[in-house]
Amino acid sequence: MIDEALAKRARAGRPIRTSLVGFGFMGRAIARQIALATPGMELASIVCRDLERARTAAHELGLDPGLCTVDPAAAVADSSLDAVLEATGSLDYGAEVVLRAIERRKHVVLMNAELDGTIGPLLRSYASSQGVVYTACDGDQPGVTMNLFRFVRGMGLRPVLCGNIKGLHDPYRTPATQEGFARRWGQNVHMVTSFADGTKISFEQAVVANGTGMRVLRRGMLGPTVEAGTPLEQAAAQFPVEEVVNGSGVVDYVVGAAPAPGVFVLATCDDPFHRHYLELYKLGTGPLYCFYRPYHLCHLEAPNSVARAVLFEDATLAPLDAPCVDVIAAAKTDLPVGATLDGIGGFTCYGLAENHCVVRSERLLLMGLAEGCRLLQPLARDQLITMDHVEPPPAGATAKLRAEQDRRFS
């Protein structure tokens, strides 16, 4: 359906016009995919903070360097613009751009789980009030998970666990340990560190939870680790069946299972008729049935979410009204009084998924607001950081919006 609708726009000479915000490792790939491989869609602008570097990169990719601008306000003010795809990984900057886009009634597609997992419910409510779509992105693991969730639910089964497949989880990884990997692939070292230390998957699964109404079974999720290459169905058997089947739905992950780096959904079914056929179709006897997608193709799939938003007003994945799961900060190492937290993918702290009600009741520090906080007392490695432990920096855009979100959904 999406390909046919895009082809129709291409034939009519009315391509979907998209502004891309962020021109780093992922942004460059998305820009090239839209410009060179997505008939019916075109880049209206590329918003970046280093103009000369962006123009050089655009030229190397075969794109028009004239598309690059440092002014997001001018980019989203374009009356012919249909959508904004935000791919910065930044919190305050990303929040300001998204707000501008929504105010201008542009659909917003987010490849920024950190922002979505911190203030997504509020941003989605703003977008709804303006009549535009706010959505996470196809190709990113949360979007791919939600596509699978909807597929499973549409068959009449009940999804009870939405999972992610990781190859590594070490909460003590730092930019120093990940420097070589980041250099090899041309990625941001802090982003790579957040993949390794579990912060990224915590944000991704928080986004899934907030879009499905699911929770975590325990702080940090269970995350069973199995021998590398273990079939996913065997790895999934590590989850507590009774808790999963009888609950309201949980998000979690496994480490080491194959096929990686995919996503999976565990579902249950109470209908004996369906169960008979599911066994015939080689999905087992239950009570849990495992559905998975063995890959997520990030930039290759990202344009699909833009097309879904513009052409069908369909969100790949959007938060429900109130947050269900947040990401909190824990000390990555022993920290002295006066230390300043360096935030996501840094040396001082890592993120853990926790149910929103617990975060509020225990005054836990959100990972998305940790950067720049100064410690008022020493912390031991792995100690949870609370609001009483820190002196926060002057409130930026994200902190102000999070305070508003807390008031609105309290």
Q: How confident is the model at residue 244 (pLDDT cuts 50, 70, 90)?
A: very high
CA-to-CA separations, 170 to 248, 255, 264, 296, in angstroms, rounded: 29, 11, 22, 22
Task: Write down the H helix ranges in 130-281.
Answer: 141-154, 175-185, 189-196, 199-212, 232-236, 241-246, 272-280
Query: Does 410 have pLDDT greater than 90?
Result: no
pLDDT digits (tens, 9 = 90+) for 150-163: 999 999 999 999 99
Burial group, residue 4, by CB count within 10 angstroms (0-12, 13-18, 19+) = exposed
Does domain 325-409 sit in CATH 3.30.70.360? no
Query: Does 321 have pLDDT greater than 90?
Result: no
pLDDT of residue 292: 96
- 60: amino acid identity, one letter: E
pLDDT digits (tens, 9 = 90+) for 220-238: 999 999 999 999 999 999 9
Torsion angle in degrees (nearest 10) through CA of 293, 299, 300, 302 = 80
Query: Does 398 have pLDDT greater than 90?
Result: yes
The domain made up of 2-140+299-312 has a fold known as Rossmann fold (3.40.50)
Q: Please name which of 189, 298, 265, 171 lies closest in space to residue 225, comparing C-alpha atoms.
A: 171
What average pLDDT is seen over the chain? 96
Residues sharing a CB contact under 8 Å with residue 184, sequence separation 6 or more, in sequence order: none
pLDDT of residue 230: 95
Per-residue pLDDT, averaged over 192-214, amounts to: 97
Q: How confident is the model at residue 100 (pLDDT cuts 50, 70, 90)?
A: very high
3 state SS of 215: strand
Q: How confident is the model at residue 82 (pLDDT cuts 50, 70, 90)?
A: very high
Residues sharing a CB contact under 8 Å with residue 213, sequence separation 6 or more, in sequence order: 248, 249, 320, 324
Are the CB atoms for 319 and 120 separated by under 8 Å? yes
Residues sharing a CB contact under 8 Å with residue 319, sequence separation 6 or more, in sequence order: 116, 120, 121, 124, 207, 210, 211
The DSSP code for 395 is P
The DSSP code for 410 is -
Per-residue pLDDT, averaged over 97-101, amounts to: 97
Are the CB atoms for 83 and 18 separated by under 8 Å? yes
pLDDT of residue 1: 83
pLDDT digits (tens, 9 = 90+) for 278-315: 999 999 999 999 999 999 999 999 999 999 999 999 99
**The tokens of 283 are what?**
């999905």
Cα–Cα dist 188/377, whole Å: 31
pLDDT digits (tens, 9 = 90+) for 346-374: 999 999 999 999 999 999 999 999 999 99
* Boundaries of every domain in the chain: 2-140+299-312, 143-296, 325-409
High-pLDDT (> 90) share of the chain, %: 98
